[in-house]
Amino acid sequence: MPNSILYRIASGDKTAVQDCLKTYGGLVWALAKRMLPNQNDAEDAVQDIFIDVWKNAERFDEERSSETTFIAMLARRRLIDRLRKSNRQPNFDSLEDVTFEPSKRTDLDIHISIEAKEAAEAVRDLRPEQQQVLFLSICQGLTHQEIADLTKMPIGTVKTHARRGLIEIREALLKSSGASDEIKEVSA
């Protein structure tokens, strides 16, 4: 899409860099704050993430994902790296906070709102324990050992719930975008 911000960055349009900050600054900042409670860490991570985004803009493929998802993916990679290098503690008070209930807020960016709604619909079909493990892993960045300690589940069970949950959601999202493995295989 010629108007895609990442496409413009990849093609050398320098003004697109500012558009990128404007459009996705809030998203990246929110992701960083959620995973890195320390403000300085979060700020450093945001800088790393945007440099990654600018340098990897040419890898963006609108056929495979939206800009929002692509940037959120790069952000998550960076945040997980930072998180695992630090000895942080989970930043929620209790497991009651662990929920995938869709936000009632209406002031989210419309791009994010659409992406999140799609994912929430896929998550809703999972078993509660799968949802819980996935939330702790993806949104909080906990290791399987940390999740096992927190939930009192055996570590093997944690791994199974997480991987099965993610496999199912991936398949649901691919199907909704018309690009599931099954479709690929049939058309190949």
Partner 1 sequence: MEKDKERMLELLADRTLFGLTEAEAAELENLKKIFPEFENDDSFEMAAAQINLINLEMDDSLPPHLQTKLAAQAEKVFGITPEAREFSSFENNQAAELPQDVFARSIDEFAPKSSIWNWKWLGLAAAATACIALAISLWLASSQPKPEIADEPKVVQTPESVKSPELAQIPESVKTPEPVGSPESVKTPEVEKTPESAQIPKTVITPENFKTPESAKNPDSVKIPAPAKTPTPELSAVQRREQLLASAPDVVQTNWTAVKGDKRVLGDVVWSNAQQKGYIRLRDLPALDASRETYQLWIFDDKTPVSGGIFNVGKTGEVIIPINAQSKIKNPKQFAVSKEKAGGVVVTKPDRIVAVAKI
By CB under 8 A, residue 162 contacts partner 1 = yes
- Please count the residues of this chain forming the interface with partner 1, following the rule CB under 8 A: 77
Shortest Å distance, C-beta 106 to partner 1 = 4
19, 88, 157, 175: which one binds partner 1 (CB under 8 A):
19
11, 22, 127, 156: which one binds partner 1 (CB under 8 A):
22
41, 70, 132, 148: which one binds partner 1 (CB under 8 A):
70
Q: How far apart are CA 130 and CA 75, in angstroms?
A: 23
Q: Could you tell me which residues come within 8 angstroms of residue 78 by beta carbon, excluding any fewer than 6 positions away?
A: 45, 48, 49, 52
Residue 36's CB: how many other CB atoms inside 10 A?
A: 22
Shortest Å distance, C-beta 28 to partner 1 = 8
Tokens 């997980």 -> residue? 80
Q: Could you tell me which residues come within 8 angstroms of residue 84 by beta carbon, excluding any fewer than 6 positions away?
A: 141, 143
Residue 97's CB: how many other CB atoms inside 10 A?
A: 11
Q: How far apart are CA 101 and CA 165, in angstroms?
A: 16
Binding positions for partner 1, 74-133, rule CB under 8 A? 75-77, 84, 99-103, 105-116, 118-120, 123
Contact 137, 147 (CB under 8 A): yes
By CB under 8 A, residue 149 contacts partner 1 = no
Residue 141 region, left (φ>0) first, then alpha (ψ -120 to 50), else beta?
left
55, 127, 154, 156: which one binds partner 1 (CB under 8 A):
55
By CB under 8 A, residue 52 contacts partner 1 = no
Q: Which is nearer to partner 1, 54 or 90 (CB)?
A: 54
47, 86, 127, 154: which one binds partner 1 (CB under 8 A):
47
Shortest Å distance, C-beta 152 to partner 1 = 18
